[in-house]
Structure 1
Amino acid sequence: MPTYAYACKSCGDEFEIFQSFSDDSLTTCTSCEGPLRKNFNVGGITFKGSGFYRTDSRAAESSNS
């Protein structure tokens, strides 16, 4: 289940919660019952396999001597 971050527009309280994709977004703060907004964070990126380094994607250089 993904983790969603919320922040209250009234009191500034911030928290994270595990929610299913099918669950509705939260709309009221548990502390002051003010309106919430969902914070969007950049997800982590993991590169696996070859081809992600500068030397992996280039052909071997030939020397002309």
Structure 2
Amino acid sequence: MARYDYKCPECDNTFEVEHPMNAHPEVDCPKCGAQARRVFSASGIVFSGSGFYNTDQKGKK
């Protein structure tokens, strides 16, 4: 199960809903009952350190 952010276009309420990644349920706002829309945001993953860059594989001179 994954958690997703939803925002209501009527009352601007933002809330989380937990459902399977392959599910696309219609979600209603818990405050006003209007149909909410899923909010997409950038991931917080940062790849750093050895092995994540093309230049890390080159031989040392």
TM over 0.5: yes
Once the two structures are TM-superposed, the CA of residue 49 in structure 1 deviates from its matched residue by 8.5
Residues 26 and 35 in structure 2, CA contact (< 8 A), matched pair in contact too: no
Q: CA RMSD in A?
A: 2.8
TM, length-normalised to structure 1: 0.65
**Residue aligning to 2:35:** 35
Identity percentage over the alignment? 34
AA in 2 matched with 1:43: S
AA in 1 matched with 2:2: P
Structure 1: state its 5+ residue gaps.
none
Instruction: Point out the structure with the larger helix share.
Output: 2
Structure with bigger gyration radius: 1
TM, length-normalised to structure 2: 0.68
Counterpart mapping for 1:11-30 below 5 A: 11-30=11-30
Map Cα deviations across residues 2-46 of structure 1 (whole Å, 9 max, x no partner).
111100000000001211235442332111112211011223436
